Amino acid sequence: MQSVTLRINNIACRYDAANVLENIDFSAKGGDFIGVVGPNASGKSTLLKSISKVLKPHTGVVLLNERDVHTLKSAEIAKNLAVVPQESVISFAFTALEVVLMGRTPHLNRFEMESTQDLIIAQKSMELTNTWYLAERPIDTLSGGEKQRIIIARALTQEPRVLLLDEPTDHLDINHQIEILDLIKRLSKEKEMVVIGVFHDLNIVSQYCDRLILLHKGRIFAAGGAGDVLTGENIEKVYGVKVTVKQDDISGKLLIHPQRKRMIKEAKAKVHVIAGSGSAVSLMNELVDNGYNVSLGVINIGDSDYVAAKALELDIVEEKPFCPIGEKNYEKNLELIKQADYVILTNIPIGFANIKNLKAAGEAQNLIIVEKEPIEKRDYTEGEATKLYHELKANATLVKNSHGVLDTLKSMESGVNYE
């Protein structure tokens, strides 16, 4: 089979009169794994939409094997290109296997049923994503992480030549992040697929991507290998954060650490935040703006909450990327929790890698839980986290968002003077 090529030829995209992307120009061939990074609203998701024919560029062209994707029929696009979006809405209670088999639809004639071979392909994709055991489960009963792995399995079942990923690991526990990214990296080489993924974690793209594209205000700010793109100067200009970039002793890959300057300032009370996956970025900013002395932990280096906390110069208990919480960091976290006037547990997924955060929260003097969705949808520990969580809820204050946290803190502090 001829190797696939993809060329994004000087495209610009608009929403109404607003320019979202300008002068985007790059190419990829089979086996390339390209990471797209940049701050919020830099145009990352719009770029994927333009490649996948969802959004037609205002100018320029996207060429798949030298053919304009916007001249190709949808079925032909689907045979060659698969997308894993940030969120997938499936309205009916299909089984997981039925959802994965939908990936074979572009390869079937009208009214044609799936064959034994189609089922074999679907099963293999589910085995690769460690989801075959979910085959008969209704999709609406699965957790966010399980559902995401099913969507990735469906994309692989299309047998695409190009795979587009929009923050594919955001809902996944650390072990599943590693499994999925290892799998995608391997398949990109073995199947000679073009893989283009949008990521928010700079350490992830450093570990897995062959090339990076750094977007800023709708334009390519830098492109090339991790060493050329993830420089301290580039990151400071684009993200507004000073960082230290160094090479990991074991993997040889780059590790990005935001720099921290110690600031001494008066604060109302000590608030410790248990977070992850970007669940506390705005909350931490609001707490600091309202004069609280904020700490965070335990958090993996490179997580967007970690980056935000570093930029705010907070006390942090940090763990290495992709690593579960070690005993030493658990004890450090426990000490901060005991010292805190309030502890806030955000709406995070809980797996075996971070369940120690849940156990430590039980030592809080005043625990506030932010619950946007039930723990059952965020539990990756076969029920252990759910049991611990409900024990915590029995003695905690429950809120739905960061505004609720601030209102609750103000209410709790009424009549109390913190020195």
Tens digit of pLDDT for each residue in 197-223? 999 889 999 999 999 999 999 999 999
- Positive/negative CA dihedral, 46, 52, 56, 62: positive
Determine the pLDDT at residue 281. Answer: 86
Amino acid sitting at position 282: S
Asked whether residue 401 carries a pLDDT value surpassing 90, the answer given is no
Asked whether residue 418 carries a pLDDT value surpassing 60, the answer given is no
Q: CATH number for 270-413: choose from 3.40.50.261, 3.40.50.2300, 3.40.50.720, 3.40.50.300.
A: 3.40.50.720
Tens digit of pLDDT for each residue in 315-367? 999 998 888 999 999 999 999 999 999 999 999 989 999 999 999 999 999 99
Closest among 1, 11, 38 to 205, alpha carbons compared: 38
What DSSP letter does each residue of 327-341 carry, written as one string?
Answer: HHHHHHHHHHHHH-S
Half-sphere exposure of 256 (CA within 13 A, CB side): 29
Coil, strand, or helix at residue 178? helix
Is there a shared CATH topology between the 5-247 domain and the 270-413 domain? yes
Spell out the long-range contacts of 288-293 with Cβ–Cβ below 8 A and sequence spacing 24 or more.
288/312, 288/314, 290/406, 291/266, 291/267, 292/267, 292/268, 292/409, 293/267, 293/268, 293/269
Determine the pLDDT at residue 416. Answer: 46
CB atoms within 10 A of CB 61: 17
Determine the pLDDT at residue 260. Answer: 55
CA angle 356, 360, 362 (to 5 degrees): 130
Asked whether residue 406 carries a pLDDT value surpassing 80, the answer given is yes
Tens digit of pLDDT for each residue in 231-264? 999 999 998 888 889 887 667 788 888 775 544 3
Residue 290: pLDDT band with limits 50, 70, 90: confident
Determine the pLDDT at residue 308. Answer: 86
224 Rama sector, left if φ>0, alpha if ψ -120 to 50, beta otherwise: left
> What six digits make up the tokens of 398?
């429950």
Give the C-alpha separation, 375 to 1, whole Å: 46
The superfamily CATH assigns to domain 5-247 is P-loop containing nucleotide triphosphate hydrolases (3.40.50.300)
Domain edges within the chain: 5-247, 270-413
Cβ-based neighbours of 93, under 8 Å, separated by 6 or more: 138, 139, 140, 141
What DSSP letter does each residue of 131-147 carry, written as one string?
Answer: -GGGTTSBGGGS-HHHH
Determine the pLDDT at residue 337. Answer: 97
Determine the pLDDT at residue 112. Answer: 86
Mean pLDDT in the chain? 90
Asked whether residue 89 carries a pLDDT value surpassing 70, the answer given is yes
Determine the pLDDT at residue 208. Answer: 94
Tens digit of pLDDT for each residue in 98-153? 999 999 999 998 888 999 999 999 999 999 999 999 999 999 888 878 888 999 99
| Residue 84 and residue 151 in contact, taking contact as beta carbons nearer than 8 Å | yes
Supply the DSSP symbol for 4: P
Tens digit of pLDDT for each residue in 97-113? 999 999 999 999 888 89
Tens digit of pLDDT for each residue in 28-37? 999 999 999 9
Question: Which of 169-178, 209-218, 303-312 comes out lowest in average pLDDT?
Answer: 169-178
Determine the pLDDT at residue 1. Answer: 58
**pLDDT above 90 coverage of the chain, percent:** 65
Asked whether residue 419 carries a pLDDT value surpassing 50, the answer given is no
Beta bridge partners of 216: 219
Asked whether residue 17 carries a pLDDT value surpassing 70, the answer given is yes
